[in-house]
A and B are shown apart, each in its own frame.
Chain A
Amino acid sequence: MSATEKNISGTVLRIQRMSTEDGPGIRSTIFFKGCPLSCVWCHNPESISPKVQVHWEKTRCIGCGSCIEACPKGALAMAQSGIIIDRLSCDSCAACVQACPSTAMDIYGEDSKPDDLAREVMKDEVYFRKSGGGVTLSGGEPTMQPLFAKELLSAFQQNGLHTALDTCGQCSWETLEALLPHTDMVMYDFKEIDPDKHKNLTGISNTKILENLIGLGRFMKERGLPDKLWIRTPLIPDCTATEQNIKGIGVFIKEHLGEIVGRWELCTFNNLCTHKYESLGIDWAFKKTGLISHEEAGSLASLAQGSGVDARIVHLSGPMRNADSTESRGEGPHKSVSNGDVSECRCEGVYA
């Protein structure tokens, strides 16, 4: 390990231990901060910006005003609704986080060293071993911090852990390729087949993403490593949850990835992250969007199964609205999907 690599660090949201949803077995998932996409439905808006961000959690605030006193920029104020952060003045110096006695002022993102993360992750080594689990890099987007990601993956590999990379694929091929020798498995987000629509929904066309996916398939065939690939598609009402899209993705998988894909997971939309948008002072277009119905999701799943892929690889997860439910608000939790989303609901007390 060279001196520069040794000093490498990255911005991480958190480690989630005993995750049962980020690949095989019991896993520790490291959520990276920063994502090249900005999906309109993103379930984890705090993971989009690569910078650390201050936020305020109402339920933990005791209203003492320590944060306001501590802020050197005068960026904080107490309003009827609680603490208001002036995002233009705030430079995330975290003085308020230090001063807050109850961890209501908190920070998304922490500068982390591979060694420290490795030490933390290795604490659950025995559970990984018993379950066939390991560690998953997720985010945010791990490939946005490529050296850091590589450092982590190779450190885990050296420790004998199974490594998984959860990516949106929006990066240079060289970046992805450099990580693959240290990766046992890839979870790849495939949100939208249509390049223009993809651009509208995520801010970027899917050209690179699909190119990299094909490259990944080739790499896996040639090298036999990573040996597992799961595709994840979010079912976002009026966006990605269309017959055309599901069919299109299915055909793509069949044509380009053949036998390689072990699982194709369709993940339904929810709006549980509304409070996160609020805590970041962002108005979210999907806050009133409801859950997808069982029928609709089911028919999309059937469509996926009939699209030419091996039907057994199709999985459907996430909350769905019952037909008889008058409730149409999207409150159900689910597996988040896009890169922006995968950091999911994190235990916010972790910074306490």
Chain B
Amino acid sequence: MNASAASKTVQKIKEPKNLSARITWLRNYYFQGANRAWNNEFSAWSTGTPSDVQFDEMTFYIVPETYPFLQPFRISMQQSAKPVKLHPDFWSWNLPERKAWFVKEVMVKYVPQEILPGDLIAGGRFNLQTSMCWNKKEAKERDRLIYGKKGVRAQMKWFHDHGYGNSGATSGHLIPGYERALKIGWKGIYKDLEERYNALSSKDKKGKRGAQLRAMMTASTMPGELAGKYANLCEKLAAEEKNAIRRDEFTQMAKNLHRVPWEPAQTFWEAVQALWLTHMLVMSDENYPGPGVSFGRIDQYLLPYWQYSLKNGMDREFGKEILKCFWIHANTVYDAMIRIGNQGITSGYGQLITLAGMGPGGRDMTNDLTYAMLEVIDEMSPLLEPKPNVRLHRGSPEALLDKVVDMISVSQGAPFLLNFDERSMAGMMHEARKAGVTHLINENNVHDYAPVGCLENTMQGNDRSGTVDNNLNLLKAVELALNNGKDFHLFVDPITGKSEKIKQDGPRTGDAATFTTWEQFWKSYAEQTRFTIKRCAELYEQSESIRVRFCPTPYLSCLVKGCAEKGLDITEGGAELSFTTLEAIAFATTVDSLLAVKHLVFDKKECNMAELIEALKANWKGYEKLQAKARFKAPKYGRDDNEADAMAKAVMDMWCGETWKHRTVSTNRQFRPGMLSWNYWVGDGFILPASPDGRPKGRFLSNAICPSNGADINGPTANANSVGKVLGGKDTEGRGDLLGYYNCLPNGASHTITINPSLLHNPEHRDKFKAFLQGYTENGGSALQINMLDADMLRDAQKRPEDYRSLLVRITGYNAYFTSIGRELQDEVIARISHGSL
């Protein structure tokens, strides 16, 4: 009987399940954090010269929270760095050769090899801060470019302090060619490099290209040699081991490590072992733990090994046990700064794995390994890494959707992000046409796209698209348009207390108070947007042009197609697909601000422009009525209101169009648009002044492609429809960028919706939610994060109902918007959720 089931959805904190004693131990040990005897915290290594530098601050320019610590980081790494005995010829080599040799020397000869109890995968410590290997002259020149008066650090700080955003040439954020590394082994990679090198003219051999290839050859011998060390360790441990089962495991691990990753992998165990070592060394090479170094379609390229081993007698559960060890290893990235709060665990590193999705001809590629990995996630979670993205499309099997919805229903935040193939692939096709690379991305291979970092779509093994490198706040141009190219307020440095004069930073687009038509204001806004994008591209060029000269990553370059072929490091733009992405921040706040200007000043004439500007300068103080009209009466994006969404589309088309006009000078990388917006929407809200949408200074901006907080009052379907529309919607004739879909953001866009767990409380409702996801495939965006609401969120909703007007809850028998129900009822709901009895 259904009689009592309806009122008893229990929301509990998700717990791991079905773990062996081995995995339980490893998992518990991991969460002991800084109390562990073993960890993978940064170790720093020096050439021993006084000017030696380890920490590369540019890669942190996109993390404003670190700005006050850039100098301390540099100095502390310098101070703790241990000297490495250099090769006698070291200083005669080119920089990439020095770097390749140094990283290999440290990893193979200096960093200890250890294996945790029960672990089936070798490859422990890898978090390094190695010497940047600069000679004195290089170090001096690089410091001048960074710290000089017009240096990149000052420029970066100015850009951030004035609310434009941030930009920096950043590590990671790509899918290395792991599939190839497993298939041909590092032996194969080495052989290819050697052939290319031998084919060079003697002049080229002596030149830059030769040096780069030699560096890559050195780097490509690192995984094999390190594996050899681990193999020896395993043999030693096997000899000492009393437990027969564990002894056999050590013996097998030694065998695996003697073969892979140098030789091509054959078994599943070998493949996962090879994958881990190959992957962890990317992070060693970049000196940066796991920032979006992603695995791509792991359930596809590991499948042959999985099938081979299953056929040859591997127990499926043992296969999962191997994967679970791999999962633990992926989490040790956070050990880098383990002594810093929360054991160093941040959400900042996204080693994504991609599961399921389309294959050639629209075929669905979900397979047994997909499900095995979902089981591993389900059994291991909550655990942050590797972060799974599940790809859905029109043809996704019911069984996959069921599993996905089941997993969402028992977790707090969904344990994975959902990627939507048709929309995502349309974006990649759009990119190919825009950038003239249809020979590299086309109908025959676009299904092999995969996300990196959080949700940023790229191709695999040949693509670095700088997916977090440029973060531009679209709202800045609204302020500049309202104030004729100047900031509203004087900037006062919060640390030094020093103030700067207000300058004419942007173009003079005219005194907005004299504008008589909306079109005039729009023109002005567009021109200021052009200016901010140009400024962002210029800032990026500064750090990019430094990286290209001083920060090679020859090991990573071995794993990215195009580098060996061109004899270029990946930091020189060696990848076949070499984009950099401009991620827009505060899209909805910007759109809503423009809608409010139009509504208040031009359409309804609620005020004139001068009054609006005064109100914004006063942070709405004394203008509460006008502020209320801006917030509640002006139209908003995200309601499936075609007129408001048309404005959103106009904004989208405009900034995207501008973005495509830029390329880096030093590396010729094409800019492409995206909407990631990480957590800048929070911090930047304190920098930018009040905005015409009614937001006061200090209040959050909108997140990525999501509607402004509380604006999406028509519920999840309306919200999803608006998002799909601004990406370009669909073509009824079936044309579009691909399969009738348009997507102007090849990178993809982050979209989050929040739901009440009770919406998934029984099979009937889970089916409805599944249908919502299928509908999202048709109408929505490229990626979706589903959050489950919790008691804290509801308490916040009580305090700030205006931000939660769309919070749809299924409170037992029906849907209601949380903020629309009475206070007492809200309390009751919170109490029920807290007590797990809703």
Contact = CB atoms under 8 A, between A and B. Distances in A.
A54 B176 CA distance: 62
B801 interface: yes
A267 B812 CA distance: 10
Contact of A59 (B626, B713, B801): B801
B713 A347 contact: yes
A204 interface: no
Given A26-B771, A319-B7, A345-B820, A305 B815 contact: no
A331 interface: yes
Nearest to B822: A275
Interface in A1-36: 16-21, 25-26
A181 interface: no
Contact of A336 (B802, B810, B814): B814
B614 interface: no
B812 A334 contact: yes
Contacts of B768: 20, 25-26, 131, 133
Interface string B507-540: 0000000000000000000000000000000000
Given A26-B772, A103-B633, A331 B828 contact: yes
A346 interface: yes
B837 A322 contact: yes
**A interface bracket (residues with beta carbon within 8 Å of B):** 35 or more
A350 B805 CA distance: 9
Contacts of A315: 2-3, 6
Contacts of A302: 3
A25 B817 CA distance: 19
B65 interface: no
Nearest to B627: A101
Contact of B640 (A123, A133, A305): A123
A335 interface: yes
Interface string A328-350: 01011111100000001111111
Given A133-B771, A301-B3, A331-B824, A318 B628 contact: no
A16 B815 contact: yes
A331 B632 contact: no
Given A126-B775, A127-B775, A347-B805, A20 B632 contact: no
B771 A127 contact: yes
A305 B765 contact: no
**B interface bracket (residues with beta carbon within 8 Å of A):** 35 or more
A316 B837 CA distance: 16
Contact of A272 (B640, B810, B821, B837): B821
B718 A123 contact: yes
A136 to B, nearest CB: 12
Nearest to A301: B3
A62 B815 CA distance: 28
Contact of B6 (A60, A102, A103, A317): A317
Contact of A319 (B721, B775, B812): B812
Given A62-B625, A318-B812, A333-B821, A311 B1 contact: yes
A101 B7 contact: no
A318 B721 contact: no
Contacts of A131: 767-768, 771-772, 774-775
B3 A318 contact: no
A270 interface: yes
A124 interface: yes
Contacts of A19: 815
Given A64-B624, A267-B813, A332 B825 contact: yes
Given A17-B718, A20-B759, A312-B1, A333 B812 contact: yes
A130 interface: yes
Interface in B793-838: 801-802, 805-806, 808, 810-817, 819-825, 827-829, 832, 837
A329 B771 CA distance: 37
Interface string A297-327: 0100110010000011011111110100000
B824 A329 contact: yes
Given A102-B632, A272-B822, A26 B816 contact: no
A322 B805 CA distance: 30
A318 B7 contact: yes
Given A102-B632, A274-B822, A25 B771 contact: yes
Contacts of A129: 775
B726 to A, nearest CB: 15
Nearest to A275: B822
A25 B768 CA distance: 6
A101 B629 contact: yes
Contacts of A60: 632, 802
A344 B825 CA distance: 14
Interface in B741-780: 759, 765, 767-768, 771-772, 774-775, 778-779
A101 B633 contact: yes
Contacts of B716: 18
A276 to B, nearest CB: 8
A228 B247 CA distance: 66
Interface in A48-85: 59-60, 62, 64, 66
Contacts of B628: 62, 64, 101-102
A271 B6 CA distance: 19
Contacts of B828: 319, 331-333
Contacts of A87: none
A203 B463 CA distance: 72
A347 B813 contact: no
Interface in B555-597: none
B715 interface: yes
B2 to A, nearest CB: 5
B686 to A, nearest CB: 24
A352 interface: yes
A21 B811 CA distance: 10
Contacts of B767: 131
A221 interface: no
Contacts of B819: 349
B821 A18 contact: no
Given A26-B775, A123-B640, A319-B7, A17 B812 contact: no
B291 to A, nearest CB: 37
B430 interface: no
B812 A332 contact: yes
Contact of A314 (B2, B772, B775): B2
B717 interface: yes
B625 A349 contact: no
B715 A17 contact: yes
A256 interface: no
Contact of A317 (B7, B631, B820): B7
Contacts of B3: 266, 298, 301-302, 305, 314-316
A316 B2 contact: yes
Nearest to B801: A59
Nearest to A322: B837
Nearest to A101: B628
B595 to A, nearest CB: 13
Contacts of B808: 18
Contact of B713 (A64, A123, A350): A350
Contacts of B496: none
A336 B823 CA distance: 18
30 contacts: A17-B715, A18-B716, A18-B718, A26-B775, A62-B628, A64-B625, A101-B625, A101-B626, A123-B718, A126-B775, A130-B774, A130-B778, A131-B775, A133-B768, A266-B3, A275-B823, A294-B7, A305-B3, A316-B4, A318-B812, A318-B813, A319-B811, A329-B824, A332-B825, A332-B832, A333-B814, A335-B812, A336-B814, A345-B820, A346-B817
Q: Give the top 9 A-B pairs by smallest Cβ distance, nearest first.
A: A335-B813, A131-B771, A317-B813, A345-B816, A127-B775, A101-B628, A102-B628, A301-B3, A333-B811
Given A274-B822, A301-B3, A345-B816, 9 more contacts: A18-B716, A18-B717, A19-B815, A20-B810, A294-B4, A315-B6, A320-B7, A348-B820, A349-B817
Interface of B: 1-4, 6-7, 624-626, 628-629, 631-633, 640, 713-718, 721, 759, 765, 767-768, 771-772, 774-775, 778-779, 801-802, 805-806, 808, 810-817, 819-825, 827-829, 832, 837
